[in-house]
């Protein structure tokens, strides 16, 4: 008589605790994969937006024209949002006090920092879940493995005559929990590191744009104040 050691059979015959561990890990894996797909699409879209807006911005288009163009839509993301909020604050500040160059620069910088912070926060949303799955899944799987092996040795001690064929299924089903834990953890860790690197690069792009745009607005404000 041969023992069925197929993966499905081992999972269905596992103890209740090991089954719960496997179920938790599979759910974590599915959720992390769904998040990976969604986050990958979001970050790729934002990167494309940054590239497209930079090309448009440095093409020589009028700042007022670009501002009016963006004011027609509420779906502003990335550099579009940073530019719009910054230029909106610039126009408001200049209309209030055309001679206050320093306060204008400070208020524009604050407006763009807030916009950039909101953009980065949206990009980083739920990344902590990937980090949690990546760091805890192996330990959760190891818990299931230890529990299963412990039960196997307890059963082994209660038998008069024990053979490898008797304890092998219990040990094998326990090891599956560790395998599922690694299966959940590895993609989550890779995705988290990859997304974090891309977001850091976009933060640098946002910071560079803010500094360049502020300098441009300073020259623009100085030119407006020159006597005719």
The per-residue pLDDT for range 71-90, each reduced to its tens digit, is 888 788 888 999 999 988 88
pLDDT (tens digit per residue) in 111-151: 899 999 999 998 998 899 999 999 999 999 888 888 878 87
Task: Compute how many other C-beta atoms are within 10 angstroms of the C-beta atom of residue 144.
Answer: 27
DSSP 91: H
- Average pLDDT, stretch 86-115? 78
Q: State residue 159's pLDDT score.
A: 64
Query: How far is residue 93's CA from residue 99's CA, in Å, rounded to a whole number?
Result: 10
Q: At 85, list the tokens.
A: 């909020």
Mean pLDDT of 28-43: 93
pTM of the model: 0.80
- For 155-180, write each residue's pLDDT tens digit: 666 665 656 565 666 677 778 888 88
Q: What percent of the chain stands above pLDDT 70?
A: 79
pLDDT exceeds cutoff 60 at 105 = yes
pLDDT of 43 over the 70 cut: yes
Contact criterion met (CB below 8 Å) for 220 and 63? yes
């Amino acid at each position: 008589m041969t023992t069925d050691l197929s993966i499905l059979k081992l999972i269905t015959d596992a103890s209740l605790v090991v089954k719960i561990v496997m179920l938790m890990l599979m759910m974590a894996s599915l959720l992390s994969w769904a998040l990976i797909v969604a986050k990958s699409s979001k970050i790729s879209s934002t990167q494309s937006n940054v590239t497209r807006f930079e090309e448009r911005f440095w093409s020589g288009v009028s700042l007022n024209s670009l501002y009016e163009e963006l004011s027609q839509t509420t779906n502003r993301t990335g550099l579009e949002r940073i530019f719009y909020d910054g230029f909106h604050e610039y126009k408001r500040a200049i209309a209030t006090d055309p001679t206050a160059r320093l306060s204008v620069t400070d208020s524009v910088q604050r407006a763009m920092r807030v916009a950039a912070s909101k953009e980065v926060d949206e990009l980083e949303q739920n990344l902590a879940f990937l980090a949690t799955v990546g760091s805890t899944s192996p330990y959760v799987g190891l818990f299931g493995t230890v529990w299963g092996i412990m039960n196997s040795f307890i059963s082994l001690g209660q038998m008069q005559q024990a053979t490898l064929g008797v304890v092998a299924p219990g040990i094998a089903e326990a090891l599956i929990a560790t395998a599922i834990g690694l299966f959940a953890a590895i993609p989550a860790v890779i995705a988290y590191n990859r997304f974090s690197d891309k977001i850091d690069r976009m933060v640098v792009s946002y910071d560079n744009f803010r500094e360049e745009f502020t300098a441009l607005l300073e020259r623009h404000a100085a030119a407006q104040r020159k006597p005719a």
